[in-house]
Structures are given as structure tokens and as C-alpha cells.
Amino acid sequence: MAKGPRSGHRLAVVGSGSWGTCYAKVLADAGNEVVLWARRPEVAQEINQARRNSEYLPGVNLPRGLRASTDLAEALRGAEHVYLAVPSQSLRENLASIAAQLGPSTVLVSLMKGVERRTNLRMSQVIAQATSVPAERIAVVSGPNLAPEIAKEQPTASVASCVRAETAEAVARASRTPYFGTFINTDVTGTEFGGVLKNLIALAIGIVDGVGHGENTKAAIITRGLLEMTDFAVAFGAEPTTLQGLAGLGDLVATCESPLSRNNTAGRLLGQGFALREVVARMNQTAEGITSIEPVLALARSRGVRMPIVEQVAMVLRGTLKPAQLAPHLATEDGAPEHENVGTAGLLARLWRRGRRS
């Protein structure tokens, strides 16, 4: 059984961007000894000497329980949990080096919200495939987690998920602080897809914001977008209630409403008329929604799930739809029942009818 780290236990975080650094701070503030692996020596040096990562978390003081290293083997040595916070498309290549450093009981925790382009796999699936670590030792953390706010210790909550509840609880205990609460579930599929899919809806919100549309338009997209997210996730075995919680609705609201969101920012630039290549060049960090949208649509087609809003965002990215033409009312035909074929209500109604017949 995985045990939650106590004060003085070693944890490692791989990736020194804004979210990796922020989560390392959370873990250190929770009383753990944390080593953060940084690819660039100057980043590690600033963290260790100035207690800052000014490029990604300007103005934030980092705790003394956190130190950085550019030596991956040193960072992982003795770590009970390894938290992964690298761009989703580079995860597999990073795992090739990480796997050899893992102990027989090490828990791997994904902090990432993406789908691998080549395989259409979720991050936990990539971890399992590339490391042969069993699902009972792979967890994911997701929720309304905007790194600059959390790093300033503004209160929020998240979800730790693993197929083994004891592992999820261990991960949750490792990161609980007065400003960061962590709940648990065993619905890894729903928790991961919530984090992936909300990025796509956030792109749509950014696009219409950049075009100049108002709150009515954005509210319609968020509402219809949540139904698309739920329909998709349930088709792959997720629990619909997961999408109504922190990993779904909570993350969706935070990402769609905040200018701190990279996906919202990327969408807004697209709505203002910048080409995709210009948007990517302007972004300081990866907007995961851009790299996840095609794999998500391929998965949706494989299960016969309609995702009109996400498809329109993909058309904007491809340059085949003008941003001003992205329309939330196209998510369903005019006059159709609001929950027809999609969403939690429709799913529950179908399950109820099926139960009545059996």
C-alpha cells in the first residue's frame, strides 16, 4: 500500500515551468523535502540561490524545503513520488530516462493535461506504456489550477485520482496545505479527460473574446462545451459526475474565465487575427489545447461522439473557418431538446429507461 509522505520524505518534480515549480512549492509547503528537476542550469541556479523562478513565477518566493537540480538521477534518487510536469508531447522521451531511476514502489503522478498526438493516449496511459509501472502506482492531479494564483497561496482545490484509492489518498496527503485542498477519486479517465477537454473549450472562449463577443456568447459556449466534454468522457468509460466536479466544471470555469490561462490567451490571439504559427511563437509556454485538439477529435470519431464546438475550434486552427464565424448555437440544431444525445441528463435518462426495461 502506498503511504503518504511525511515531513522529511523525498519527492521529485520533473519540469520547472510555471506549473511544475508551483506544484513543487505546494509539496514543500506541505512539509516534504522536494527536488525539482530543471533542464536549464540558470533556472536551477536561480531557484537554489535566490529562491525564485522569475521567468515562470515572477515575484514568488520559493520555500527552503525545495531545491533544484539539473541532474535527473540526483533529483529522482530516493523519491517516493515523482510528479511529471513536462509538455505532453515530450513526456514519452522524458520517461525513457526516468524509468531507469524508479524504485520498486515509486508512484508516478501526472500533472499534465494533454493527449499524445501519435498514439491518442492519455498521459497516464503513456506513463504505463513507457515505464511498465502498474496502474495502481500511477496517479493524476487535475482541477482549477492556475499556477500564478496558487503560487501566491490563493486558496483552491484539486483532485488526485488513481484506480487504487489508497494511492490517490497518499498523493492527496502529500500536497494538502492551508491554501491547497486535494480530494480523491478513482475515475482516472474522467479526471484526465476533464483537464484535456476544458483546454479546447477555453480556446473557443478565447477566440470569441478576441473577436469581441460578450458574456452571453461565452456562457453559451461554456455550457454547451461542458456537455460535449461529458459526452466524450462518458463514451470512454468516465463517470459523468467527475465532469461536474473540480476536474471538469471547476477547471473549465477557471480556464475559460482567466487571462492567466495559456489556452484562453492562445484563443484570444487567434480571435484577434493572428495566424496559428504567430500565436505559438508568442506563447512563453505550451498551450496544450492546440496540440490535443486533433487527437481528441480522432478519439471522438472512433466512438461516434459529436463535438461541434471543438470541431469549429479545429477549423479555426486549420484556417478553414474565420474566428468570427465560431458559433455556439451550432452545437445542436435549433429547436432540439437541450440535452438531446449529450450530457449527463441525457445519459442518466437513458440509464433509467434501460433499468426500467430490465
Please state the length of the chain: 358
Phi, psi values for residue 143, rounded to 5°: 155, -170
Helix (H, G, I), strand (E, B) or coil at 240: helix
> Using H for helix, E for strand and C for coil, what is the string for 107-173?
EEEECCCCECCCCCCEHHHHHHHHHCCCHHHEEEEECCCCHHHHHCCCCEEEEEECCCHHHHHHHHH
Integer distance in angstroms from the first to the last C-alpha of the chain? 39
Amino acid at 176: R
Q: Is 198 a catalytic residue?
A: yes
Catalytically annotated residue among 25, 113, 198, 218: 198
CA angle, corner 60, sides to 62 and 178, nearest 5? 70
| DSSP secondary structure code for residue 84 in this structure | E
How far apart (Å, rounded) are the C-alpha atoms in residues 294 and 273?
21
Under the phi-then-psi rule, with left for phi > 0, alpha for psi from -120 to 50, and beta for the rest, what region is 173? alpha
Phi, psi values for residue 67, rounded to 5°: -135, 160
Helix (H, G, I), strand (E, B) or coil at 10: strand
Helix (H, G, I), strand (E, B) or coil at 34: strand
β strands within 297-356, DSSP E: none
One DSSP character per residue, 192-212 reads HHHHHHHHHHHHHHHHHHHHT
What is the set of active-site residues?
A: 198
